[in-house]
Amino acid sequence: QVQVAESGGGLVEAGGSLRLSCAASSRRYTQYAMAWFRQAPETEREFVAHISWSGASTDYADSVAGRFTITKDNTDTTAYLQMNSLKPEDTAVYYCAADPWGSTRYKDPNVYDYWGQGTQVTVSS
């Protein structure tokens, strides 16, 4: 069993920045592939960013590429999402997902068994 918890959401003005944190913990695993998804009201959950088990590779949705950066601290089993140049359309609940095994289908939310409860990000105009 893996426990996942996010933090760092809040209210910011357009053009501002936030950094989200996601901590994954378990007795068995010490490293995880981790991803961020987001979901706005009446929309499907969409992929935002992914970092591999080793932390060597990352991937981003086109909508956030160049503005968001995902990093991972394997020692602390924590992933971060640095969000810069935020836009109102970034407003959503952001969810962190962890996968101790990794998958090539990391953009699919159905791949993940372990999720945080979400943190609200609101970007005002």
Q: How far is CA 83 from CA 9, 10, 19, 35, in A?
A: 10, 12, 6, 14
* Structure tokens, 92: 């959503």
pLDDT score of 75: 67
What is the distance of C-alpha 93 from the center of its chain?
A: 10
The token duo for 32 is 């995880």
Is 21:45 a contact under the CB 8 Å cutoff?
no
CB proximity list for 104: less than 8 A, separation 6 or greater: none
Task: Per residue of the chain (125 residues), give pLDDT as tens.
Answer: 899 999 999 999 999 999 999 999 999 988 899 999 999 999 999 999 999 988 889 999 999 999 999 999 866 689 999 999 999 999 999 999 999 998 999 999 999 999 999 999 999 99
